[in-house]
Amino acid sequence: MTSSLETRAARSTTRRRSSASRAIMVDHRAPIESTFVFHEATKHTVHSVREGTHVLDATNMPRPWKLYDLDLTTTPLPDSLTRSGAAVQDVLLGSSDAEGDPAGPALTQLASVLQLSAGVTRQLRIGEFRMNFRAAACTGALYHIEIYVICGPLEGLPAGVYHYGVHDNALRQLRDGDFRAAVARAHGAENRAPLVTIAYTSTFWRNAWKYQERAYRHSFWDAGTILANSLAAAQANGLPAQVFTRFLDQPINDLVDVDGLTEASVALLTLGARQPAPAVEAPALLGLPVAALSRAPVDYPLIRSAHEATSLRADSSLVLPKVDLVTAAAEADRESVALPRSEPMPATLEDVILKRGSSRRFAREPIAFPKLAAILDAVGQPTLLDGPNGVRPLNDAYLLANNVDHLAPGIYRHRPESRSLERVASRPTQALAQHLALDQALGGDAAGALFFVAHLPTVVGTLGARGYRTAHLDASIRAGRGYLAAYALELGATGLTFYDDETVQALGAPAKSAVTFLLAVGLPGTKPIR
């Protein structure tokens, strides 16, 4: 997501954003309403993209990873990955029979999960410049998601709280001791906890440098694509894994020593079966010194207010209703197109992630329908967020079929429960897809553009303001699976930004819906880049 058109999209009108910031800042009593104000204020329109005034300051660009300003006990992780041998097809469709300890990972398995989630997979030298390729896609290649490990004792790693240093593939100990029970209580599990929990945070300025307030949405887009890799790596290593989006924010922020303002927790991933954990009080913030991100970080009040509105506190309910939130029912008068048998994906997960790269250009050539079916099967798997009784699903997926063999061009709604596509409209879609994707050629050149859409009034009406985060994570985890499937099929994939309201209207989605992710797939026109 690094095109000049996206840079223009980051130049949203200052007047509109400033007034929205004032509106949300004075309304802390109504977090749901505040969330809607944030969403409205960060929508892209043709006018906001073309008339925006934001200019990127290269002299103030944030560093791509967190560095501590003191010596911490450091545990280097193995340079070479543990090879699971698990095929992408088995991993994404939940049928991997890889052997692992269900109680929790060995250090080598944890290292593989971390590296396959956010690690540097290879480097490219251009003169004195060094480009680091990462395991998962990130908006603008700005890598604002940090990873922390909270674990009991592992062989070769004492119980503690650790930061994963992407730059040197090492764990730095922030706290010594077993704090798993504190994490479990924060997401409603009392004193039973798996051996390892991974906490994902967003450092807002690192992405807002380019995207301003819309970077708050990207916190969940990019955490989700990383989580898709994390879940796949856990599955490949035979490790039970569960994503939690609903947790008390401050105890987790304090535990991993982030302030909750400039850097804040956005998701948790547990690895292994639950077991009794030693009782422990939630610790206070340490305030460890950290190297400055850039020369002059910029504060965006709208991000801070949106995060406050969607945060959970001690009096918040962690119990979820057991309901489905996708509201668009099948239309009786619409034709249903059955998906063919999906193309096999025998490549191993490690090989696919190591060669991954977002496509900058697609060839305007068709892709086979069975390959598209494999991608749709991957994104159609439920995310099961917040436990087996968690709310699901949160997003519909709509396809603009531009160029797929044996599938007529048009707009379709994916029906994963019946492995079919519900035809919304029959017409050529290349020009429409290009326009909706901020008039970027990638949208029209792609063989298919997959839009994830959540009905916001239903989501936040059921889950509260926190549902805004959860809906975006549901979409981005599923899109992350789509990335992996596309790479395994030797196709290209990239995430794109979009005109919000125009897209909802063009897709025929329910009014007041929100587009939560756009994934374009197709035949690469050139070698993919990061």
**pLDDT for residue 13:** 36
Asked which of 31-35, 81-85, 260-264 is least confident by mean pLDDT, the reply is 81-85
CB neighbour class for 129 (10 Å; exposed up to 12, middle 13-18, buried from 19): exposed
Question: Which amino acid, 19?
Answer: S
Q: Does pLDDT of 21 surpass 60?
A: no
Give percent above pLDDT 90 in the chain: 77
Predicted structure pTM score? 0.92
pLDDT tens, 382-422? 998 998 766 678 999 999 999 999 999 999 999 999 999 99
Work out the pLDDT band at 527, boundaries 50, 70, 90.
Answer: low
Same domain, 409 and 480: yes
- Last residue of a domain, which of 238, 262, 295? 295
Does residue 12 lie in a domain region? no
Same domain, 128 and 228: yes
**pLDDT for residue 317:** 81
490 three-class SS: coil
pLDDT tens, 350-384? 999 998 877 789 999 999 999 999 999 999 999 98
Q: Does pLDDT of 530 surpass 80?
A: no
Q: Does pLDDT of 16 surpass 60?
A: no
Same domain, 345 and 434: yes
Does residue 158 lie in a domain region? yes
Same domain, 422 and 478: yes
Q: Does pLDDT of 514 surpass 70?
A: yes
3-state secondary structure 146-165: EEEEEECCECCECCEEEEEE
Same domain, 134 and 240: yes
Same domain, 251 and 379: no
Q: How many other CB atoms sit within 10 Å of the CB of residue 444?
A: 24
pLDDT tens, 200-211? 999 999 999 999
Does residue 330 lie in a domain region? no
Same domain, 167 and 252: yes
Does residue 92 lie in a domain region? yes
pLDDT tens, 39-82? 999 999 999 999 888 999 999 999 999 999 999 999 999 988 88
Total count of domains within the chain? 2
Mean pLDDT for all residues in the chain: 90
pLDDT tens, 115-132? 999 999 877 776 776 778
Same domain, 279 and 356: no
Does residue 6 lie in a domain region? no
Tokens found for residue 464: 């509260």
Write out the residue range of the structural domain in which residue 443 sits.
336-524
- Last residue of a domain, which of 244, 263, 295? 295
Does residue 252 lie in a domain region? yes
Same domain, 256 and 365: no
- Last residue of a domain, which of 245, 267, 295? 295
Same domain, 147 and 281: yes
User: Count of alpha carbons within 13 Å of 424, Cβ hemisphere only?
Assistant: 22
Same domain, 383 and 469: yes
**pLDDT for residue 331:** 72
Contact (CB, 8 A) for 489 and 371:
yes
Same domain, 223 and 344: no
Does residue 40 lie in a domain region? no
| CATH number for the domain harbouring residue 146 | 3.40.109.10
516 three-class SS: strand
**pLDDT for residue 260:** 97
Asked which of 207-216, 347-356, 430-439 is least confident by mean pLDDT, the reply is 347-356
Does residue 347 lie in a domain region? yes
